[in-house]
Chain A
Amino acid sequence: MAGSSAQAPSVVGTPLPLVGKSDTKPTWCPGCGDYGVVAAVEMAVKRLKIPSHNVVIVSGIGCSSNLPHFLSSYGFHAIHGRALPVAEGIRWANHGLTVLATGGDGDGFGIGAGHFVHSMRRNVDLTYVTMDNQIYGLTTGQASPTSMMGQKTKSTPTGVIENPIDPVALALASGATYIARGFSGDVKQMADLIAGAIQHKGFAFVDAMSPCVTYNKINTFDWFRQRVYKLESAGHDPTDIRRAWEKALEWGDRIPTGLFYKIDRPTYEDLEEVLAAGPLALQPAGLRGKESLLDEFL
């Protein structure tokens, strides 16, 4: 959600800059899918005209988790797998902020899988974009939770023998209220999906298929281009959860992209009554004048 500025000092007369590129250049491999994702995030946030100081981008660890450094918003580059609980803490401390969590498939669906499920069932109002390349890149090419059955990697030289996680289906099962899949080869669609995710009130999940050009020689840009089709072109109704399930399970010769499911439900922040008094960071703190609190111990 685009929220109002919640800070104490104000800068009168100074235009508040929108999110743009930072002075740090991405260090991803040439051709990496993540370039498309960071471009889409920048486009989406710019389009929504949210000033950069009201945006916080949180990530975990992995190639893609370097993303917060490349944009001019606030950022938190956390430890592996913990982007979501850090992002939740940020939201609850100041729900006037626009909070995005980003990271890879290993970060989100492997080491961080528990947080993925629980933050969705809470319907925390944040946007989670996973740069899903179906491989561990920064550790130089091991199998990931979304590597396909049979894929040979450094850690699985005879091929993966576990079923991959289906992030879209997992999100549906866990109660996310905005579920989409994008593809780095289509930055415009990705930007639309991310903008929709930020505007959505509730947990918005965008699985961004973001090919690793170095370590995943199977799920390449071409591999995706031959398979992807847009849900909206296929007449998909994102309010129909049964159809969303059908589409979520579709992966193979044809891979749907776009918005699978969207529903409006109260967010965690709506239901946490303490937050009704405004952003926690601006609420009074301490017990001065509340001495009667001690009566319960008498």
Chain B
Amino acid sequence: MTEISVRAGGAAGDGIASVGEVLSRSFSRLGLHVFGLNAYQSVIRGGHVWFQARAGREAVHSQGDRVDILYALNRETVDVHAAFLRKAACVVFDPEKFSVSPDDLPAGVVPVAVPTLELARKYTTQSILQNAAGLGATAFLAGIPLATLQKVLADSFGRKTGDVVDWNLGAAADGYAYAQSHASANDRAVGPAGPAKLLLAGNSAIALGAAAAGVKFLSQYPMTPASSIMHWMAAHSHTLGVVVKQAEDELAAINMAIGASYTGVRSMTATSGGGFALMVEALGMAGMTEVPLVVVESQRSGPSTGLPTKTEQGDLNMMLGAGQGEFPRAILAPSDALEAFQLTIKAFELAEAWQTPILVASDLHLSESFMTIDREAISFDVDIPSLFQVEPNGHDFKRYAYTDSGVSARSLPGQPGLQYVAGSDEHDEKGHLLSDVRAGIPVWVAERNRMMEKRMRKLEGLRAALDAPAIEGPADADLTLIAWGSTIGAARDALGLLASQGHAVNLLAVRSVYPIRPEAFVGPLGRAKRTLLIEANFSGQFGRLLRAETGIHLPDRLLKYDGEPFYPAEIAGRAVEVLSHGG
């Protein structure tokens, strides 16, 4: 078959995330495209967590809509996920823990009882080993060769060897053999498809992109779902020569990054909405002092603490408006891991070129989901020009010299003869204050205008430097979907569903969210017969931006703010509704 989805569920502490990662990596080793969704709660033990690993011979852009194999570590998993089980799906469970009868399941779903605890007891009394046996059985049903699973398991222990590794490999083999002799493989079982693909979470892709772009300083305060950017970078800090600073709060994190960038190293901070709210004043300082800065804002459900482990695209308004007064900024919103890598590099290049903060808008769904990338698609060939480019010119260095582009040459501390003061107060070309004894004096009032206009010219440069949105799918369509950031994934999958149902639907995929070029939207949307705006927020924040910038109103919407990611079928369903009822 062309694709398969395996879901594992249990309580926090059961090791579900590891099970899901091992399954995802087994698929990616087989050369399959993978999307892995880790669904969890804001508890460390207990509750209900699950992971869906979807793998396909063709690209998969979301967790998909159905489950072919459910590995249930507790009874709750069966009850919660039964509705997602496709006909002919199988449910792997241990009868020693709970029972599942066919009556509990949708018609056609096959219960597969596997004595995972008993198989594990052959090696140890530690119950966690049951997962290896369960993985073995699940791998058989999914078409993953035992050797592939065992290699992934062994690799997950790193350089560790010994009993624990051997037990895991043994239990996996026993689970595999048990399933082989007691059940048939799922009808969607997959096989090898080509060379292994890279499998990484969105946040790893962001961190990797930052490293490729030459980041030397990352300061961050822990906040889900941005923390794993810091985790990856900290784990590689010494080999890559990147200083990673866990700051006392987000105020310090962004101010440290600004200080480091002012001094001549590429710098980044990352956070979620709550932390970004604290960074807002300093973001404006980066704009005012013209210091390059990359800020990753990985959104989660708000407002306030909201749903810390659930996704949303509800911070766009904040990102657009963050900071008192006006200064140039850009917002890039990658849709998958590869774009997360590429657009993070682009964010650094833009920040450096335009000397202003650039935001990378991620969200929990992108940051924490696992996605595959072809190894050849990743290039580390990034030009990182030296920042020591300005030559001394006596005592007349104008750090904020007026230029056509709005960008002025910057010197770095340590360069002789080029000293200046970077000021958060309004200033003249040399950086001298306009805020105290010059404020309100006509000649300096005019100077304020010139300096404001110089900075804001950079917004026009940024506008021209950003990519236009791309139309995906048929050029001649009856309906055009509009999505930005991580929502693009499920919308892409919905295009396939809709095409198979005979509907001509295409997608306007927006990754460069701000500043937008009106003509880039007026063309494709002017030609669209109908439109459907899809956003993971309550009010259609991108739709509002689009209307403000272009006058285009998108009346038909699919807005979601329940914290869950979009599912292709729900987008396809709404699309059919719009097509048939006119919205």
Interface residues of A, Cβ cutoff 8 Å to B: 5-11, 14, 16, 24, 27, 51-54, 56, 58, 61, 66, 68-69, 72-79, 81-82, 84-94, 96-97, 114-115, 117-118, 272-275, 277, 280-281, 283-291, 293-294, 297-298
- Apart from A9-B392, A74-B419, A280-B216, what are 15 other A-B pairs with CB-CB below 8 Å? A8-B386, A8-B415, A51-B416, A53-B419, A77-B421, A89-B219, A92-B217, A93-B259, A93-B260, A114-B251, A115-B248, A274-B237, A284-B241, A293-B236, A298-B198
Q: Check if A74 sits within 8 Å of B420, measured CB to CB.
A: yes
User: In the assembled complex, which residues on chain B have CB atoms less than 8 Å from the CB atom of A90?
Assistant: 259-260, 262-263, 413
B344 within 8 A of A: no
Q: Can you list, as one digit per residue, whether each of B260-304 has a CB less than 8 Å from chain A (1) or not (0)? A: 111111110000000000000110110001000000000000000
Within 8 A of A (CB), among B229-252: 236-238, 240-243, 245, 247-249, 251-252
Chain B residues lying within 8 Å of A277, measured Cβ to Cβ, are 241
Given A76-B259, A89-B255, A298-B196, does the pair A11, B417 have CB atoms closer than 8 Å? Answer: yes
In angstroms, how far is the closest chain B Cβ from the Cβ of A217?
Answer: 24
Are A85 and B243 in contact (CB-based, < 8 A)?
Answer: no
Closest to B423 in A: A77
Task: Say whether A53 contacts B414, CB under 8 Å.
Answer: yes
- Tell yes or no: B388 within 8 A of A by CB: yes
Q: Which of A5, A79, A275 contacts B243 (CB 8 A)?
A: A275
* Interface, chain B (partner A; CB < 8 A): 28-29, 196-200, 204, 208, 211-217, 219, 236-238, 240-243, 245, 247-249, 251-253, 255-267, 281-282, 284-285, 289, 373, 375, 378, 380-382, 384, 386-388, 391-392, 412-425, 432-433, 436-437
B257: nearest chain-A partner, CB-CB = A89
B434 to A: closest C-beta gap in Å? 12
Is A298 a contact partner of B260 (Cβ separation < 8 A)?
A: no
Least distance between B390 CB and chain A CB atoms (Å): 8
In whole Å, how far is B428's beta carbon from the nearest beta carbon of chain A?
Answer: 11
Contact flag A7-B412 (CB < 8 Å), given A66-B433, A69-B432, A89-B217? yes
Partner of A53, one of B258, B384, B416: B416
What are the residues of chain A within 8 A of B259 when measuring CB–CB? 58, 76, 85-91, 93
- Bound together, the chains give a CA A275 to CA B259 distance in angstroms of 16
Q: Which residues of A contact B262 (CB under 8 A)?
A: 76, 86, 89-90, 93
Are B424 and A290 closer than 8 Å at their CB atoms?
A: no
Q: How far is the CA of A281 from the CA of B417 in the complex (A)?
A: 18
Looking at chain A's contact residues, is the secondary structure mostly helix, strand, loop, or mixed? mixed
Partner of A77, one of B213, B253, B425: B425
- Give Cα distance in the complex from A66 to B426, angstroms: 13
> How far apart are B476's CB and chain A's nearest CB, in angstroms?
39
Which of A16, A82, A92, A274 is in CB contact (< 8 Å) with B255?
A: A82
Chosen A-B contacts, 14 in total, with CB atoms closer than 8 Å, are A74-B413, A76-B262, A76-B289, A78-B285, A92-B217, A93-B261, A93-B267, A94-B413, A114-B252, A275-B243, A280-B241, A285-B266, A285-B384, A293-B211
Name which of B212, B265, B282 has the most chain A CB atoms within 10 A of its CB: B265
Bound complex: CA A31 to CA B368 (Å): 59
Q: Is B412's CB under 8 angstroms from A286's CB? A: no
Which residues of chain A come closer than 8 Å to B249, judged between CB atoms?
A: 114
Q: Is the CB of A9 within 8 A of B413?
A: no
Min CB distance A13 to B, Å, is 12
Q: Is the CB of B381 within 8 A of A288?
A: yes
The answer on a CB contact under 8 Å between A92 and B437 is no
Q: Which residues of A contact B28 (CB under 8 A)?
A: 298
Given the complex of chains A and B, what is the CA–CA distance between A251 and B216 in angstroms?
45
Q: Which residue of A lies closest to B198 (CB)?
A: A297
